Structure 1
Amino acid sequence: MKKIAFLAGTSGLIGMQLLHQLIQDPSYDTVISVGRRKLALKHNKLVQLEGNFKEIKNWDIESKLREDDLGGIFFPLIEAIKSKSVEMHAFCSLGTTIGQAGSKDKFYEIDHDYVLNFAWWTKEMGVSRFLYVSAMGADPQSSVFYNKVKGEVEEDLKVIPFEYLGLFEPSLLLGNRKDFRFGEEVAKIITKPLVWLKIAKKYRPIFDRQVAKAMIYHANQVKSIKVEVISSKQMQNFEA
Protein backbone atom coordinates (compact mmCIF):
# COMPACT_ATOMS: atom_id res chain seq x y z
CA MET A 1 0.00 0.00 0.00
CA LYS A 2 1.34 3.44 -0.97
CA LYS A 3 -0.50 6.34 0.68
CA ILE A 4 -3.90 6.98 2.22
CA ALA A 5 -5.67 10.34 1.92
CA PHE A 6 -8.34 11.45 4.37
CA LEU A 7 -10.64 14.13 3.02
CA ALA A 8 -13.18 16.37 4.81
CA GLY A 9 -15.41 18.85 3.03
CA THR A 10 -15.70 16.61 -0.01
CA SER A 11 -19.04 17.95 -1.21
CA GLY A 12 -17.75 21.53 -1.40
CA LEU A 13 -16.12 23.40 -4.26
CA ILE A 14 -12.48 22.56 -3.52
CA GLY A 15 -13.32 19.27 -1.81
CA MET A 16 -14.85 17.82 -4.94
CA GLN A 17 -11.80 18.86 -6.97
CA LEU A 18 -9.55 17.27 -4.36
CA LEU A 19 -11.54 14.06 -4.53
CA HIS A 20 -11.30 13.80 -8.31
CA GLN A 21 -7.60 14.61 -8.36
CA LEU A 22 -6.72 12.28 -5.47
CA ILE A 23 -8.57 9.43 -7.15
CA GLN A 24 -6.59 10.04 -10.33
CA ASP A 25 -3.28 10.36 -8.48
CA PRO A 26 -1.42 7.01 -8.61
CA SER A 27 0.52 7.76 -5.42
CA TYR A 28 -2.64 7.34 -3.33
CA ASP A 29 -4.15 3.87 -3.03
CA THR A 30 -7.16 4.89 -0.98
CA VAL A 31 -9.15 8.08 -0.46
CA ILE A 32 -11.26 8.10 2.71
CA SER A 33 -13.96 10.76 2.48
CA VAL A 34 -15.50 11.87 5.77
CA GLY A 35 -18.82 13.71 5.76
CA ARG A 36 -22.26 14.16 7.28
CA ARG A 37 -23.68 12.12 4.44
CA LYS A 38 -22.32 9.93 1.68
CA LEU A 39 -21.88 11.14 -1.87
CA ALA A 40 -23.67 9.53 -4.81
CA LEU A 41 -20.32 8.45 -6.17
CA LYS A 42 -18.49 5.16 -6.29
CA HIS A 43 -14.90 4.30 -7.16
CA ASN A 44 -12.64 1.42 -6.18
CA LYS A 45 -10.24 3.87 -4.45
CA LEU A 46 -12.99 5.72 -2.57
CA VAL A 47 -14.16 4.81 0.93
CA GLN A 48 -16.88 6.93 2.50
CA LEU A 49 -17.43 7.40 6.24
CA GLU A 50 -20.62 9.05 7.43
CA GLY A 51 -21.17 10.81 10.74
CA ASN A 52 -21.24 13.96 12.85
CA PHE A 53 -18.07 16.04 13.11
CA LYS A 54 -19.07 16.91 16.66
CA GLU A 55 -18.34 13.33 17.63
CA ILE A 56 -15.52 12.45 15.25
CA LYS A 57 -12.80 12.51 17.92
CA ASN A 58 -14.55 9.53 19.49
CA TRP A 59 -14.81 7.53 16.28
CA ASP A 60 -13.06 4.20 16.11
CA ILE A 61 -11.78 3.91 12.55
CA GLU A 62 -11.95 0.12 12.53
CA SER A 63 -15.60 0.11 13.61
CA LYS A 64 -16.51 2.79 11.06
CA LEU A 65 -14.86 0.89 8.23
CA ARG A 66 -16.49 -2.39 9.22
CA GLU A 67 -19.98 -0.86 9.04
CA ASP A 68 -20.03 -1.27 5.25
CA ASP A 69 -17.37 -3.94 4.87
CA LEU A 70 -18.82 -6.82 2.91
CA GLY A 71 -16.55 -9.83 2.81
CA GLY A 72 -13.66 -8.23 4.67
CA ILE A 73 -12.39 -6.18 1.71
CA PHE A 74 -11.23 -3.41 4.07
CA PHE A 75 -9.05 -5.73 6.17
CA PRO A 76 -5.73 -4.64 4.54
CA LEU A 77 -6.76 -0.99 4.92
CA ILE A 78 -7.69 -1.44 8.58
CA GLU A 79 -4.41 -3.22 9.30
CA ALA A 80 -2.37 -0.54 7.51
CA ILE A 81 -4.02 2.24 9.54
CA LYS A 82 -3.85 0.40 12.87
CA SER A 83 -0.18 -0.49 12.41
CA LYS A 84 0.65 2.98 11.01
CA SER A 85 2.61 1.16 8.31
CA VAL A 86 1.48 3.47 5.51
CA GLU A 87 1.95 7.19 4.94
CA MET A 88 -1.26 9.11 5.58
CA HIS A 89 -2.22 12.65 4.59
CA ALA A 90 -5.34 14.64 5.49
CA PHE A 91 -6.95 17.32 3.33
CA CYS A 92 -9.55 19.63 4.87
CA SER A 93 -11.78 22.04 2.97
CA LEU A 94 -14.57 22.22 5.53
CA GLY A 95 -16.35 25.54 5.56
CA THR A 96 -19.61 27.39 5.18
CA THR A 97 -21.00 30.93 5.30
CA ILE A 98 -22.83 32.69 8.10
CA GLY A 99 -25.91 32.78 5.87
CA GLN A 100 -25.85 29.04 5.33
CA ALA A 101 -24.97 28.27 8.94
CA GLY A 102 -27.73 30.51 10.26
CA SER A 103 -25.70 32.26 12.96
CA LYS A 104 -22.17 33.27 13.91
CA ASP A 105 -22.10 30.58 16.59
CA LYS A 106 -23.01 27.83 14.14
CA PHE A 107 -20.54 29.19 11.59
CA TYR A 108 -17.80 29.06 14.23
CA GLU A 109 -18.72 25.50 15.13
CA ILE A 110 -18.42 24.34 11.51
CA ASP A 111 -15.46 26.41 10.36
CA HIS A 112 -13.45 26.13 13.57
CA ASP A 113 -14.56 23.28 15.83
CA TYR A 114 -15.26 20.72 13.13
CA VAL A 115 -11.93 21.43 11.44
CA LEU A 116 -10.03 20.99 14.70
CA ASN A 117 -11.98 17.84 15.56
CA PHE A 118 -11.11 16.34 12.19
CA ALA A 119 -7.47 17.35 12.56
CA TRP A 120 -7.05 15.80 16.01
CA TRP A 121 -8.82 12.62 14.90
CA THR A 122 -6.51 12.17 11.91
CA LYS A 123 -3.44 12.94 14.01
CA GLU A 124 -4.40 10.24 16.50
CA MET A 125 -4.55 7.76 13.63
CA GLY A 126 -1.06 8.62 12.48
CA VAL A 127 -1.62 11.21 9.75
CA SER A 128 1.69 12.99 9.19
CA ARG A 129 0.65 15.84 6.88
CA PHE A 130 -2.40 18.08 7.17
CA LEU A 131 -3.46 20.41 4.36
CA TYR A 132 -6.10 23.02 5.19
CA VAL A 133 -8.04 25.46 3.00
CA SER A 134 -8.06 28.74 4.87
CA ALA A 135 -8.62 32.14 3.22
CA MET A 136 -6.74 35.20 2.10
CA GLY A 137 -6.74 37.68 4.97
CA ALA A 138 -6.92 35.02 7.69
CA ASP A 139 -5.92 36.77 10.91
CA PRO A 140 -6.99 36.00 14.49
CA GLN A 141 -6.89 39.74 15.22
CA SER A 142 -9.02 40.73 12.22
CA SER A 143 -12.11 42.89 12.71
CA VAL A 144 -13.78 40.84 9.97
CA PHE A 145 -15.44 37.86 11.64
CA TYR A 146 -14.81 35.44 8.75
CA ASN A 147 -11.10 36.28 8.58
CA LYS A 148 -10.82 36.19 12.36
CA VAL A 149 -12.22 32.66 12.54
CA LYS A 150 -9.96 31.43 9.74
CA GLY A 151 -6.99 32.97 11.54
CA GLU A 152 -7.93 31.25 14.80
CA VAL A 153 -8.18 27.92 13.00
CA GLU A 154 -4.69 28.39 11.56
CA GLU A 155 -3.25 29.18 14.99
CA ASP A 156 -5.01 26.26 16.67
CA LEU A 157 -3.89 23.82 13.98
CA LYS A 158 -0.27 24.79 14.66
CA VAL A 159 -0.61 23.29 18.14
CA ILE A 160 -1.25 19.82 16.71
CA PRO A 161 2.13 18.13 16.17
CA PHE A 162 1.84 17.17 12.52
CA GLU A 163 5.11 16.62 10.67
CA TYR A 164 3.86 19.17 8.15
CA LEU A 165 0.97 21.64 8.19
CA GLY A 166 0.07 23.39 4.94
CA LEU A 167 -2.20 26.44 5.23
CA PHE A 168 -3.65 27.45 1.87
CA GLU A 169 -5.02 30.98 1.59
CA PRO A 170 -6.89 31.36 -1.72
CA SER A 171 -8.55 34.55 -2.88
CA LEU A 172 -12.06 34.53 -4.36
CA LEU A 173 -12.78 31.04 -5.68
CA LEU A 174 -13.94 30.29 -9.21
CA GLY A 175 -15.82 27.08 -9.91
CA ASN A 176 -19.28 25.58 -10.12
CA ARG A 177 -20.86 25.85 -6.70
CA LYS A 178 -24.09 24.00 -5.94
CA ASP A 179 -25.31 26.94 -3.88
CA PHE A 180 -25.74 30.53 -5.07
CA ARG A 181 -23.81 33.20 -3.17
CA PHE A 182 -24.86 36.67 -4.33
CA GLY A 183 -21.86 38.53 -2.91
CA GLU A 184 -19.41 36.12 -4.49
CA GLU A 185 -21.12 36.31 -7.87
CA VAL A 186 -20.90 40.11 -7.86
CA ALA A 187 -17.23 39.96 -6.84
CA LYS A 188 -16.52 37.48 -9.64
CA ILE A 189 -18.00 39.83 -12.23
CA ILE A 190 -15.87 42.70 -10.94
CA THR A 191 -12.61 40.77 -10.65
CA LYS A 192 -12.87 38.31 -13.56
CA PRO A 193 -10.92 40.68 -15.88
CA LEU A 194 -7.88 40.15 -13.61
CA VAL A 195 -7.99 36.47 -14.60
CA TRP A 196 -8.34 37.21 -18.31
CA LEU A 197 -5.52 39.76 -18.26
CA LYS A 198 -3.36 37.59 -15.99
CA ILE A 199 -2.52 40.48 -13.69
CA ALA A 200 -2.57 41.07 -9.91
CA LYS A 201 -1.83 37.43 -9.08
CA LYS A 202 -2.13 38.12 -5.36
CA TYR A 203 -5.73 39.32 -5.58
CA ARG A 204 -7.26 37.89 -8.70
CA PRO A 205 -9.78 35.03 -8.38
CA ILE A 206 -8.44 31.50 -8.45
CA PHE A 207 -9.98 28.29 -9.79
CA ASP A 208 -10.91 25.52 -7.38
CA ARG A 209 -8.83 23.03 -9.35
CA GLN A 210 -5.71 25.19 -8.94
CA VAL A 211 -6.09 25.11 -5.16
CA ALA A 212 -6.58 21.34 -5.20
CA LYS A 213 -3.51 20.85 -7.39
CA ALA A 214 -1.43 23.01 -5.07
CA MET A 215 -2.54 21.06 -2.01
CA ILE A 216 -1.71 17.67 -3.47
CA TYR A 217 1.60 18.97 -4.80
CA HIS A 218 2.72 20.30 -1.41
CA ALA A 219 1.50 17.18 0.37
CA ASN A 220 4.01 15.14 -1.61
CA GLN A 221 7.07 17.40 -1.56
CA VAL A 222 10.04 16.95 0.74
CA LYS A 223 9.68 19.67 3.37
CA SER A 224 12.25 21.12 5.76
CA ILE A 225 9.66 23.24 7.59
CA LYS A 226 6.78 22.15 9.81
CA VAL A 227 4.31 24.94 8.99
CA GLU A 228 3.90 26.63 5.63
CA VAL A 229 1.47 29.27 4.39
CA ILE A 230 0.77 29.02 0.66
CA SER A 231 -0.64 32.23 -0.76
CA SER A 232 -3.16 32.62 -3.56
CA LYS A 233 -0.36 34.14 -5.65
CA GLN A 234 1.69 30.95 -5.29
CA MET A 235 -1.30 28.77 -6.16
CA GLN A 236 -1.89 30.79 -9.32
CA ASN A 237 1.24 29.13 -10.73
CA PHE A 238 -0.62 25.84 -11.06
CA GLU A 239 -2.30 25.24 -14.38
CA ALA A 240 -5.96 26.18 -14.43
Structure 2
Amino acid sequence: MGKPRDKNNVIITGTTGMVGEGVLIRCLDSSEIDSVLVINRKPCGYAHPKLKEIIHQDFFDFTPIENQLLGYNACFFCLGITSVGASKETYYKMTYTLTIHIAETLSKLNKDMTFCYVSGSGTNPEGRLNWQKVKGKTENDLMKLPFEQVFNFRPGFIKPVENQKFAHKFYKYINWLFPIGRMISADGFCTMLELGDAMINSLSHNNKRKVLEGKDIIELANEPT
Protein backbone atom coordinates (compact mmCIF):
# COMPACT_ATOMS: atom_id res chain seq x y z
CA MET A 1 0.00 0.00 0.00
CA GLY A 2 1.43 3.39 -0.95
CA LYS A 3 1.92 6.33 1.36
CA PRO A 4 0.19 9.66 0.69
CA ARG A 5 2.26 11.95 -1.49
CA ASP A 6 3.61 15.10 0.13
CA LYS A 7 6.04 17.33 -1.72
CA ASN A 8 8.64 15.31 -3.58
CA ASN A 9 11.96 17.13 -3.52
CA VAL A 10 14.60 15.11 -5.34
CA ILE A 11 18.40 15.17 -5.56
CA ILE A 12 19.85 13.73 -8.78
CA THR A 13 23.52 12.94 -9.32
CA GLY A 14 25.19 12.18 -12.65
CA THR A 15 23.08 14.49 -14.83
CA THR A 16 26.01 15.15 -17.18
CA GLY A 17 25.83 11.45 -18.09
CA MET A 18 23.20 9.69 -20.18
CA VAL A 19 21.24 8.01 -17.39
CA GLY A 20 21.23 10.96 -15.03
CA GLU A 21 20.22 13.33 -17.81
CA GLY A 22 17.33 11.07 -18.82
CA VAL A 23 16.08 10.81 -15.24
CA LEU A 24 16.37 14.59 -14.90
CA ILE A 25 14.29 15.17 -18.04
CA ARG A 26 11.57 12.86 -16.73
CA CYS A 27 11.54 14.50 -13.29
CA LEU A 28 11.27 18.00 -14.77
CA ASP A 29 8.33 16.84 -16.89
CA SER A 30 6.58 15.02 -14.03
CA SER A 31 3.84 16.67 -11.98
CA GLU A 32 4.77 14.27 -9.15
CA ILE A 33 8.13 16.02 -8.59
CA ASP A 34 8.05 19.44 -6.94
CA SER A 35 11.73 20.38 -7.00
CA VAL A 36 14.99 18.96 -8.29
CA LEU A 37 18.53 19.58 -7.06
CA VAL A 38 21.41 18.42 -9.25
CA ILE A 39 25.01 18.27 -8.04
CA ASN A 40 27.66 18.34 -10.74
CA ARG A 41 31.29 19.19 -11.32
CA LYS A 42 30.26 21.10 -14.46
CA PRO A 43 26.91 22.63 -15.53
CA CYS A 44 24.35 20.20 -16.91
CA GLY A 45 23.00 22.79 -19.35
CA TYR A 46 19.36 22.64 -18.26
CA ALA A 47 17.20 25.46 -16.87
CA HIS A 48 13.74 24.99 -15.34
CA PRO A 49 11.64 26.72 -12.65
CA LYS A 50 11.89 23.73 -10.31
CA LEU A 51 15.58 22.99 -10.99
CA LYS A 52 18.50 24.08 -8.82
CA GLU A 53 22.11 23.17 -9.60
CA ILE A 54 25.12 23.07 -7.29
CA ILE A 55 28.57 23.01 -8.88
CA HIS A 56 30.84 21.13 -6.50
CA GLN A 57 34.20 19.57 -7.33
CA ASP A 58 34.97 17.21 -4.46
CA PHE A 59 32.32 14.50 -4.27
CA PHE A 60 34.23 12.87 -1.41
CA ASP A 61 33.54 15.89 0.78
CA PHE A 62 30.05 17.38 0.82
CA THR A 63 30.71 19.29 4.06
CA PRO A 64 30.73 22.74 2.35
CA ILE A 65 27.30 22.15 0.79
CA GLU A 66 25.57 20.09 3.50
CA ASN A 67 23.18 22.89 4.46
CA GLN A 68 21.90 22.94 0.86
CA LEU A 69 21.06 19.22 0.97
CA LEU A 70 18.44 19.44 3.72
CA GLY A 71 14.75 19.00 3.03
CA TYR A 72 14.95 16.42 0.25
CA ASN A 73 13.03 13.14 0.44
CA ALA A 74 14.67 11.32 -2.47
CA CYS A 75 18.02 10.81 -4.18
CA PHE A 76 18.20 9.33 -7.65
CA PHE A 77 21.85 8.29 -7.79
CA CYS A 78 22.93 7.98 -11.44
CA LEU A 79 26.63 8.74 -11.01
CA GLY A 80 29.20 6.15 -11.99
CA ILE A 81 32.06 5.10 -14.24
CA THR A 82 32.61 2.18 -16.55
CA SER A 83 34.92 -0.59 -15.44
CA VAL A 84 36.47 -0.71 -18.93
CA GLY A 85 40.02 0.60 -18.71
CA ALA A 86 39.81 1.38 -14.99
CA SER A 87 42.07 -0.28 -12.43
CA LYS A 88 40.40 -2.29 -9.67
CA GLU A 89 41.41 0.38 -7.16
CA THR A 90 39.98 3.26 -9.21
CA TYR A 91 36.77 1.40 -9.98
CA TYR A 92 36.24 0.52 -6.31
CA LYS A 93 36.87 4.11 -5.22
CA MET A 94 34.60 5.69 -7.82
CA THR A 95 31.84 3.08 -7.51
CA TYR A 96 31.70 1.84 -3.93
CA THR A 97 33.55 4.45 -1.83
CA LEU A 98 32.03 7.48 -3.57
CA THR A 99 28.47 6.13 -3.57
CA ILE A 100 28.54 5.08 0.08
CA HIS A 101 30.10 8.39 1.17
CA ILE A 102 27.36 10.42 -0.51
CA ALA A 103 24.65 8.03 0.73
CA GLU A 104 25.90 8.22 4.31
CA THR A 105 25.88 12.01 4.14
CA LEU A 106 22.33 12.16 2.77
CA SER A 107 20.97 9.56 5.21
CA LYS A 108 22.34 11.63 8.07
CA LEU A 109 20.73 14.83 6.78
CA ASN A 110 17.35 13.49 5.60
CA LYS A 111 15.85 10.66 7.63
CA ASP A 112 12.78 10.15 5.42
CA MET A 113 14.74 9.79 2.19
CA THR A 114 14.25 7.20 -0.55
CA PHE A 115 17.58 6.32 -2.20
CA CYS A 116 17.47 4.94 -5.75
CA TYR A 117 20.78 3.56 -6.99
CA VAL A 118 21.42 2.78 -10.66
CA SER A 119 23.45 -0.39 -10.56
CA GLY A 120 23.34 -2.60 -13.65
CA SER A 121 22.12 -5.84 -15.14
CA GLY A 122 24.33 -8.73 -14.05
CA THR A 123 25.32 -7.21 -10.71
CA ASN A 124 26.17 -9.99 -8.28
CA PRO A 125 28.19 -9.74 -5.04
CA GLU A 126 29.29 -13.34 -5.62
CA GLY A 127 29.95 -12.84 -9.33
CA ARG A 128 33.05 -13.77 -11.27
CA LEU A 129 33.82 -10.28 -12.56
CA ASN A 130 35.19 -7.49 -10.41
CA TRP A 131 32.50 -4.96 -11.42
CA GLN A 132 29.75 -7.42 -10.46
CA LYS A 133 31.21 -7.81 -6.98
CA VAL A 134 31.82 -4.10 -6.42
CA LYS A 135 28.32 -3.08 -7.50
CA GLY A 136 26.86 -5.96 -5.49
CA LYS A 137 28.69 -4.83 -2.37
CA THR A 138 27.50 -1.27 -3.01
CA GLU A 139 23.89 -2.44 -3.28
CA ASN A 140 24.12 -4.49 -0.09
CA ASP A 141 25.71 -1.74 1.98
CA LEU A 142 23.25 0.88 0.75
CA MET A 143 20.42 -1.27 2.09
CA LYS A 144 22.00 -1.15 5.56
CA LEU A 145 21.88 2.65 5.78
CA PRO A 146 19.08 4.42 7.70
CA PHE A 147 17.08 5.55 4.69
CA GLU A 148 13.32 5.17 4.65
CA GLN A 149 13.69 3.15 1.44
CA VAL A 150 16.43 1.83 -0.85
CA PHE A 151 15.86 0.65 -4.41
CA ASN A 152 18.72 -0.84 -6.43
CA PHE A 153 17.92 -0.58 -10.15
CA ARG A 154 19.55 -3.06 -12.54
CA PRO A 155 18.75 -1.92 -16.08
CA GLY A 156 20.44 -3.44 -19.11
CA PHE A 157 20.06 -1.69 -22.47
CA ILE A 158 18.36 1.69 -21.91
CA LYS A 159 16.75 3.48 -24.84
CA PRO A 160 17.53 7.20 -24.43
CA VAL A 161 15.03 10.03 -24.60
CA GLU A 162 15.07 11.63 -28.05
CA ASN A 163 17.60 14.47 -28.40
CA GLN A 164 19.41 13.81 -25.14
CA LYS A 165 22.61 15.87 -24.97
CA PHE A 166 24.66 13.22 -23.19
CA ALA A 167 23.45 10.01 -24.86
CA HIS A 168 26.27 7.85 -26.16
CA LYS A 169 26.65 8.44 -29.89
CA PHE A 170 26.49 4.74 -30.73
CA TYR A 171 22.88 4.57 -29.53
CA LYS A 172 21.62 6.25 -32.69
CA TYR A 173 23.08 3.32 -34.65
CA ILE A 174 21.73 0.53 -32.44
CA ASN A 175 18.34 1.84 -31.27
CA TRP A 176 16.74 -0.25 -34.01
CA LEU A 177 17.67 -3.31 -31.94
CA PHE A 178 15.50 -2.19 -29.03
CA PRO A 179 12.08 -3.57 -30.10
CA ILE A 180 13.67 -6.88 -31.07
CA GLY A 181 15.54 -7.14 -27.79
CA ARG A 182 12.45 -6.15 -25.83
CA MET A 183 10.46 -8.97 -27.44
CA ILE A 184 13.19 -11.49 -26.66
CA SER A 185 14.01 -10.32 -23.13
CA ALA A 186 12.20 -7.50 -21.35
CA ASP A 187 14.64 -8.03 -18.47
CA GLY A 188 17.45 -6.57 -20.54
CA PHE A 189 15.67 -3.68 -22.28
CA CYS A 190 13.89 -0.64 -20.87
CA THR A 191 13.43 2.96 -21.92
CA MET A 192 14.82 5.98 -20.13
CA LEU A 193 11.25 7.15 -19.49
CA GLU A 194 10.45 3.82 -17.82
CA LEU A 195 13.52 4.06 -15.63
CA GLY A 196 12.59 7.63 -14.61
CA ASP A 197 8.96 6.74 -14.00
CA ALA A 198 9.96 3.72 -11.91
CA MET A 199 12.11 5.93 -9.70
CA ILE A 200 9.32 8.47 -9.32
CA ASN A 201 6.79 5.74 -8.51
CA SER A 202 9.12 4.26 -5.88
CA LEU A 203 8.35 7.31 -3.73
CA SER A 204 4.81 6.09 -3.11
CA HIS A 205 5.98 2.90 -1.37
CA ASN A 206 6.51 2.29 2.32
CA ASN A 207 9.76 1.16 3.90
CA LYS A 208 11.12 -0.95 1.05
CA ARG A 209 14.56 -2.49 0.50
CA LYS A 210 14.50 -3.94 -2.97
CA VAL A 211 16.52 -4.96 -6.05
CA LEU A 212 14.77 -4.24 -9.35
CA GLU A 213 15.70 -6.18 -12.48
CA GLY A 214 14.55 -5.05 -15.93
CA LYS A 215 11.02 -6.50 -15.74
CA ASP A 216 10.58 -5.07 -12.25
CA ILE A 217 11.59 -1.61 -13.52
CA ILE A 218 8.99 -1.78 -16.30
CA GLU A 219 6.32 -3.01 -13.88
CA LEU A 220 7.02 -0.23 -11.37
CA ALA A 221 7.06 2.37 -14.17
CA ASN A 222 3.55 1.33 -15.17
CA GLU A 223 2.19 1.23 -11.65
CA PRO A 224 -0.83 3.55 -11.26
CA THR A 225 -0.12 6.75 -9.29
Taking the TM superposition and a 5 Å limit, the aligned residue runs for 1:104-143 are 104-126=88-110, 127-143=112-128
CA distance in 2, matches of 1:91, 1:134: 11
Question: Aligned equivalents of 1:17 and 1:190: distance in 2?
Answer: 19
Whole-angstrom CA distance in 2 between matches of 1:148 and 1:187: 28
Q: Distance in 2 between matches of 1:209 and 1:130?
A: 18
Aligned CA distance change for structure 1 residues 150 and 185 (closer, same or farther; 3 Å): farther
Select which of 200, 216, 220 maps to 1:234.
216
Larger RCO, structure (CA 8 Å, separation 6 or more): 2
Which residue of the partner structure matches residue 3 of structure 2? none
Aligned counterparts of 2:126 and 2:55: Cα–Cα separation in 1 = 35
1:61 and 1:53, CA in 2 relative to 1: closer, same or farther beyond 3 A?
A: same
Name the CA distance, whole Å, in 2 between partners of 1:6 and 1:113.
19
1:23 and 2:28 correspond? yes
For 1:34-53, list aligned pairs within 5 A. 34-51=39-56, 52-53=58-59
TM-score, reference length from structure 1: 0.76
Residue 212 of structure 2 aligns with an amino acid whose one-letter code is: I
Q: Does 1:54 align with 2:60?
A: yes
- Aligned equivalent of 1:74: none
SS in 2 for 1:236: helix
Structure 1 residue 20: Cα displacement? 1.3
Percent of aligned positions that are identical: 22
Aligned partners of 2:95 and 2:135 also within 8 Å: yes
SS of the aligned residue for 1:17 comes to helix
The separation in 1 between residues aligned to 2:95 and 2:172, in whole angstroms, is 21
In structure 2, what is the equivalent of residue 99 of structure 1? Answer: 84
Distance 2:55 2:119 in 1: 24
Q: Is the CA contact (8 Å cut-off) linking 2:151 and 2:209 kept in structure 1?
A: yes
Helix, strand or coil for the counterpart of 2:153? strand
In 2, the alpha carbon distance for the partners of 1:190 and 1:202 equals: 15
Q: Note closer, same or farther for the CA distance 1:48–1:191 as it changes in structure 2 (3 Å cut).
A: closer
Partner of 1:213: 197
Shift of 1:179: 4.1
Is residue 3–residue 29 contact of structure 1 (8 Å, CA) maintained in 2? Answer: yes
Aligned residue-pair number: 210
The answer to whether the 8 A contact 1:8-1:92 is kept is yes
**Whole-Å separation in 1 of the counterparts to 2:106 and 2:19:** 20
Q: 1:186 to 1:108 in 2, by over 3 A?
A: farther
Secondary structure of the 2:73 match is strand
**Consecutive unaligned residues in structure 1, runs of 5 or more:** 66-77
Per-residue Cα deviation, 1:164-195 (whole angstroms, up to 9, x for no partner): 111111122232654457xx999978776222
Give 5+ residue unaligned stretches, structure 2.
1-5
Q: Relative to structure 1, is the Cα distance of residues 19 and 187 closer, same or farther in structure 2, using a 3 angstrom cutoff?
A: closer
Structure of larger gyration radius: 1
Deviation at 1:19, TM superposition (A): 0.9
**Do 2:159 and 2:178's aligned partners in 1 also have CA atoms closer than 8 Å?**
no
